Amino acid sequence: MKAVSGKRFRALPEARGWALRRINGSHHIYAVSGNTARISVPVHGNAPLKIGLQKHLMKIAGIEESDL
């Protein structure tokens, strides 16, 4: 799996209808209407996301590996 930075990853949920609700420090919190799930994307410059976190966020947001 290709590791991407939080800065690049945050555009993927927005393309799927997730809306940025707030920014808490360096974490961007997204929500989608009609669902109680929230995702928190850490944006630490160009540092790549850890693979486990990236897979978890992709699963919740409905992002496929081919979308990266």
User: What CATH number has the domain bearing residue 11?
Assistant: 3.30.920.30
Is residue 25 in some structural domain?
A: yes
Is residue 54 in some structural domain?
A: yes
- Does the predicted TM-score (pTM) go above 0.85? yes
* In the chain, alpha helices (H): 6-9, 11-15, 51-61
The count of domains in the chain is 1
Residue 38 is part of which domain span?
A: 6-63
Is residue 68 in some structural domain?
A: no
Q: CA 14, CA 32: separation in Å to the nearest integer?
A: 9
Q: CA 35, CA 25: separation in Å to the nearest integer?
A: 24
Output the furthest CA–CA distance in the chain (Å, rounded).
Answer: 32
Is residue 11 in some structural domain?
A: yes
CB 6 within 8 A of CB 42: yes
Is residue 1 in some structural domain?
A: no
**pLDDT tens-digit series, residues 16-67:** 999 999 999 999 999 999 889 999 999 998 999 999 999 999 999 999 998 8
